[in-house]
Amino acid sequence: MRTRPVAPGVALVLLLHLALLWLALRPVHQPLVRDDRIWLQLWQPTVKLTPSPPAVVQARRVPVPAMAPPPRTRAAPPPDAAAPAPTVPVPAASADTPEVQALLAEPAPAKSLPPDLVRQALKDVAAIDRQLRAEHPQALTPPPGSPNARLARGIAAAGAAVKPKWFEQARIELFSAPNDPKRIYRVITATGEYCLFYPDTGSIAFNSAPKSGWAGSGQPTLSDCPTRF
C-alpha cells in the first residue's frame, strides 16, 4: 500500500498559520475624518517667568593725579593755657556710720502680748457679743424655697382660710394694692366678713366735696368686699 507524503501538508499548514499571524499583527490603517469640533481651554497654564540677572555695569576708572602731601607743622602750645586743676579726693561713705548701720540692720521682731492680756481681751469681746445678741435678737429665717418655709406658708394660708371663732377677735387685712391711695381693708369675723373703703384724702375730688376737710376725712364706707381680678 502506497502512503501519501506528509511534508507538503505540514508545510502548507505552517504557511497558512504564518499568513494568519501576519494579518493579525499588521497595523490597521484608519481613514482620516475631519473633526469640526472646537476645544476651549478655561484656564491658561501658568508660565513661570524667571527674571533675568541684572547687567553688571563696570564703573569707568578715572585716573587721579597724585598730589604731594603737605608738610607737617608742629603746633605750638598756647601761651595762656591753664594748668589742670588738682583733683580733690571725695571721702567715700563709711559703713560704720549710724545711718548705714540703721539701714543694714534687720528689723526687730514684734513684741508679743502677754498671754493673760490676750485671754482677757477675748473674754471682753465675747461679753460684748453676748450683750449685743441679747439686745437685738435675730430669729433664724429659713430660705424661701426650703421645706420649712413652704410648711410655714401653708400653715399660715390654712389659718387665714378658717374664720375666727366667736370668742376670738376679728382679723383685719389689707385688701387693696399696697400702692393704691384708696385703701380697702377686709374685716373677717365669726359671723361673716365686710370691707372698709377709705377715700383718697389727697385727691382733688375729695377736697372739693361739700363734706371735705377735717370733719369728713378718715371716715370709711362699709360695704361688701369686691371681687379681685
Tens of pLDDT, residue by residue, the chain (229 residues): 566 777 888 899 999 999 999 988 887 666 666 666 776 666 666 656 666 666 655 555 655 555 655 556 555 555 454 455 555 555 555 556 777 777 777 666 667 778 888 889 999 999 998 898 888 877 777 788 888 889 988 998 888 888 888 999 999 999 998 888 888 999 999 999 999 998 887 777 666 666 655 545 667 888 999 887 6
Residue 176 lies in a domain: yes
Beta-sheet strands, E only, within the chain? 171-174, 184-188, 193-197, 221-223
Q: Show contacts of 32-35: CB within 8 Å, 24+ apart.
A: none
Q: Please tell me the predicted confidence (pLDDT) of residue 224.
A: 92
Residue 209 lies in a domain: yes
Residue 198 lies in a domain: yes
Q: Please tell me the predicted confidence (pLDDT) of residue 81.
A: 46
Q: Please tell me the predicted confidence (pLDDT) of residue 37.
A: 72
DSSP secondary structure letter of residue 212: -
Total domains in the chain come to 1
Q: Please tell me the predicted confidence (pLDDT) of residue 82.
A: 47
Q: What angle do CA 191, 193, 197 make, to 5 degrees?
A: 145
Is the separation of the CB atoms in 218 and 183 below 8 Å?
A: no
End-to-end CA distance of the chain: 140
Residue 143 lies in a domain: no
Residue 121 lies in a domain: no
Domain that holds residue 199: 164-223
Q: Measured between alpha carbons, how far is 225 from 78 in angstroms, rounded to an integer? A: 123
Q: Measured between alpha carbons, how far is 213 from 207 in angstroms, rounded to an integer? A: 7
Residue 193 lies in a domain: yes
Q: Measured between alpha carbons, how far is 100 from 102 in angstroms, rounded to an integer? A: 5
Residue 186 lies in a domain: yes
pTM over 0.75: no
Query: Nearest CA to 143 among 134, 152, 135?
Result: 152
Residue 148 lies in a domain: no
Amino acid at 120: Q
Is the separation of the CB atoms in 170 and 188 below 8 Å?
A: yes
